[in-house]
Amino acid sequence: MKLLLTTLPAAALIFAGVQAFAHGDGAPQPVDTTALPDLEDDWPEENPYRTAGGDVYAKAIEIGASGYNQNCARCHGLEVVSGGLAPDLRYLSADWEGDEWYVERFQNGYTQNGVTKMPAFGELLGPKAAWAIRSFVETRPDDGALDEFAERLKEIRDALGARNAALEDGTSYDEMAEEIEALRAELDGIAGKVASGSGGEIADSAASRAVAALDGSADSLRRAEETLTIGLSAAE
Q: Which residues bind ligand HEC (CB under 6 A)?
A: 71-72, 74-76, 86-87, 89, 92, 102, 105-106, 110, 117-118, 121, 133
Which CB sits closer to ligand HEC, 18 or 177?
18
CB of 52 to ligand HEC, least distance (A): 20
Which CB sits closer to ligand HEC, 130 or 206?
130
Nearest to 51 by CA among 126, 141, 131: 131
Which CB sits closer to ligand HEC, 131 or 149?
131
CB of 92 to ligand HEC, least distance (A): 6
Which CB sits closer to ligand HEC, 90 or 163?
90
Which CB sits closer to ligand HEC, 92 or 191?
92
Residues 6+ apart with CB under 8 A from 144: 235
> Is the CB of residue 122 less than 8 Å from the CB of residue 50?
no
Which CB sits closer to ligand HEC, 117 or 152?
117
d(CA 209, CA 79): 15
> Is the CB of residue 215 less than 8 Å from the CB of residue 225?
no
Nearest to 145 by CA among 207, 216, 97, 228: 207
d(CA 227, CA 233): 10
d(CA 110, CA 68): 17
CB of 122 to ligand HEC, least distance (A): 10
CB of 197 to ligand HEC, least distance (A): 12
Burial of residue 75 (CB within 10 Å: 0-12, 13-18, 19+) is middle
Q: Number of C-alpha atoms within 13 angstroms, CB side, residue 160? A: 30
One-letter amino acid of 67: G
